[in-house]
């Protein structure tokens, strides 16, 4: 496919820029600093994975970009504008950890949800055909199934289709495959890369699996805890398409080891 080189040329355009962002939560025990002075830059069309120990604020960072949280200091911008603007313009897609499907809606109806809400401004924006998207994520034949009739992997596929229906320029994924078994997870990793190759959207993917982080990303951001901050960034100079047996190759193993060391010192 050679999409790897193509994307490298586009790195000059910035999709997401987080600059010196600090996030605090008020709790009963006092304020907790979830993120401290975090700076991240992600280019248009890049696939970046974020990894770190629990409590390092990787989900917080994702929510900052999605306009679900605001920093107390520092700034966040998506395509040069505040995240709230990107959110209202339907440039953001979010995939949650537990799929967050509505159980009273069939798979296809769940995918259609973003087209039914969000006011008039968003309705004029280009959208994708929900049925086509369900086929793309491998759910042809299960369009009319209710979420409780689908396996965990299938539900997460529906939730990916739902995030893609508004044609977002940025796809934010919060440990989407964390609750799945290893076989399903590896298969979905390959399929996610195929989808990325086809739609070319910027993807920020949070995970706690080293293997997944290296397999998917062009770059792995390693975060450390107390307070949450960026520890190191590790490039993954492996070409796409990436096949599952890549995991046994020395180049992959070496990078995975590098990420693991990063996590140990985080």
Partner 1 sequence: MKPVTTLSETGPPRRPPRKPWHNYLRTAFWVILGFVITIAAWQAIITIRDVPNYVVPPPGDVWESLNNDFDTLWRNTKPTAIESIGGFLIGSGGAIVLAIVFVHSRILRRMFLPVVIVIRTIPVVAIAPVLVLMLGNGLAPKLVIAALISFFPTLVNMVEGLESVNSQSLELFRVLSANRWEVFWKLRIYKSLPFLFASLKIASTASVIGAVVAEWIGSDKGLGALIILSTFNFRTSLLYATMVFASILALVLFASVALLERLVVRWQPE
In eight-state DSSP terms, residue 228 is: B
Binding site for partner 1 (CB under 8 A): 63, 66-68, 87-88, 90, 92-94, 96-98, 100, 102-104, 106, 113-114, 116-119, 122, 131-132, 134-136, 138, 140-146, 148-149, 194, 198
Q: Which is nearer to partner 1, 167 or 194 (CB)?
A: 194
* H helix or E strand, kind and range, residue 107: helix 107-116
Least Å distance between CB 18 and partner 1? 18
Q: Measured from the CB of residue 144, what is the shortest distance to partner 1 in angstroms?
A: 3
Q: Which of 95, 93, 112, 117 is nearest to 167 (CA)?
A: 93
> Which CB sits closer to partner 1, 145 or 246?
145
The count of other CB atoms within 10 Å of the CB of residue 9 is 9
Q: In sequence order, what DSSP letters do the residues of 20-77 get, joined into one string?
A: EEEEEEEETTEEEEEEEEEEEEEETT-EEEEE--TTSSHHHHHHHHTTSS--SEEEEE
Q: Hey, which residues does 229 pair with through a beta bridge?
A: 224
Three-class secondary structure of residue 123 per DSSP: helix
Closer residue to partner 1, CB minimum distance, 57 or 262: 57
Least distance to partner 1, CB of residue 10, Å = 23
| Residue whose CB is less far from partner 1, 136 or 203 | 136
Q: For the CB of residue 5, give the shortest distance to partner 1 in the complex, in Å.
A: 21
Is 19 or 197 the residue whose CB approaches partner 1 more closely?
197
């Amino acid at each position: 496919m050679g999409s790897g080189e193509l994307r490298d040329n586009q790195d000059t355009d910035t999709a997401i820029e987080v600059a010196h962002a600090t996030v605090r939560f008020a709790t009963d025990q006092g304020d907790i600093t979830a993120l401290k002075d975090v700076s991240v830059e992600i280019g248009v069309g890049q696939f970046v994975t974020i990894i770190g120990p629990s409590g390092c604020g990787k989900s917080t960072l994702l929510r900052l970009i999605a306009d679900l949280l605001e920093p107390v200091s520092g700034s966040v911008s998506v395509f040069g504008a505040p995240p709230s603007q990107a959110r209202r313009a339907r440039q953001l897609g979010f995939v949650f950890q537990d799929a967050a499907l509505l159980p009273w809606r069939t798979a296809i109806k769940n995918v259609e949800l973003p087209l039914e809400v969000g006011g008039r401004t968003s309705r004029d924006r280009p959208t994708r055909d929900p049925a086509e998207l369900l086929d793309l994520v491998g759910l042809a034949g299960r369009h009319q199934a209710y979420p409780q009739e689908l396996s965990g992997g299938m539900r997460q596929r529906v939730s990916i289709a739902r995030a893609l229906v508004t044609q977002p320029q940025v796809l934010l994924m919060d440990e989407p495959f964390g609750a799945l078994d290893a076989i399903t997870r590896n298969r979905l990793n390959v399929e996610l890369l195929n989808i990325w190759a086809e739609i070319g959207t910027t993807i920020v993917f949070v995970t706690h699996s080293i293997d997944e982080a290296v397999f998917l990303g062009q770059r792995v951001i390693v975060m450390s805890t107390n307070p949450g901050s960026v520890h190191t960034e590790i490039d993954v100079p492996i070409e796409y398409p990436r096949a599952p047996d890549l995991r046994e190759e020395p180049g992959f193993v070496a990078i995975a080891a590098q990420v693991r060391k990063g996590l140990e010192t985080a």
